[in-house]
Amino acid sequence: MTTPIHNCLINKKTSTTPVWFMRQAGRYLPEFKKIRKNNLNFIKLCLNYKLSHEITLQPLKRFNLSAAIIFSDILMTPHGLGQKVVFKKNFGPKLKPLNLYNISNTNVDEFSKKLDPIYKSIKNVKKNPLIKNKDLIGFVGAPWTLLVYMINQSSPKKGLKKNFFKDDNLIKEILKILEKFLKIHIKNQIKNGATIIQIFDSWAGLLKEKELERYVYQPTLNLVNYTRSLRTPVICFPRNIKNYKKFCEIVKPDAISIDYNVNPKLIEKKIQIPVQGGLDPKILLLDKEKLKKEALKYLNIFKDHPYIFNLGHGVLPETDPNMVDYLVKIVENY
């Protein structure tokens, strides 16, 4: 049976609007907080296949969503390549300085073995009755975003290191290695049951227009083409870029996920392919009336366009799960 999201991505049908949320599994759910309290090491939690399987399914037990997204992190790729990643409370990810020699000599089997709990978790989720007639989304970080974390060694919220672009050979080499291992990570997720792949380019907005070709368009296109060769649709989320139209024309994903800073009316006019997302996650922190008004705005704008309802970024930690439930019902009853 065709799932609602596949129907939108492949058949471009809009009879019902599929709905899922970025970061739907995790930090805002009391049942997740309970698990997290006893599992302080975030990387270890992502690699605990029994717990990550349980966390992935938690939102599906509460809400009528069209998909599950595997509970993992984009930084599992640098972890698999041997660059140590730790998550510090109220700070975010902190990466140890990268050792190019070690990363260049990473063994393919070693990489897959390190990340095997993620694939086991996908396999287990796929067997669960809760996922029947729904999609299971696997994901990776885009090469540019992972490059940012690997060289910057932390989130670039305050900007990139001053000498970030200094060593061009280092950048070339890391992008080459990332492409190779991201393809392996994508393949392993699909092999174990992921039915869609989403590529998160969280820091695409840091680049100037002239830099996008080298760091975003080409590396992402290579991954999109590879995922398609495995007969799996791919959604791209190049957050905060200025020209979504150009991105779609060059990269050609099956759907484009938009952030909340973009005007949805312009996207609807300019973009031919299916669109996902857009709603500001902060709207979920307001009252039901404002939430309904904003949700209907997106649903009305995209009513004649293949559209997957989602947010323009992840669910915020302070979100009330009842508001998520209310939002899902608005989409369902539209």
Query: Any bridge partners for residue 257, and if so which?
Result: 276
pLDDT at 87: 92
Give the whole-angstrom CA distance, residue 115 versus residue 229.
Answer: 22
Predicted pLDDT at 157: 86
Nearest-angstrom CA–CA distance, 26 and 130: 17
Instruction: Say what the pLDDT of residue 1 is.
Output: 57
For residue range 115-137, list pLDDT tens digits in order: 999 999 999 999 999 999 999 99
> At which residue do the structure tokens 């009391």 appear?
30
CA-CA distance, 32 to 38, in Å (whole number)?
10
Q: Which residues of the chain have pLDDT under 70?
A: 1
- All structural domains of the chain, each given as residue ranges with its CATH number in brackets, are 4-332 (3.20.20.210)
Supply the angle between the helices 143-152 and 168-191 in degrees, to the nearest 10.
120
Q: Which amino acid is at 154?
A: S
Question: For position 75, what pLDDT does the model report?
Answer: 98
Q: What is the pLDDT of residues 230-261, one digit of tens each?
A: 999 999 999 999 899 999 999 999 999 999 99
For residue 317 the two structure tokens come to 């930690």
The predicted-structure confidence for 256-289, as pLDDT tens digits, reads as follows 999 999 999 999 999 999 999 999 999 999 999 9
Q: CA 83: distance to chain centroid?
A: 21
At 157-171, the pLDDT tens digits run 878 888 899 999 999
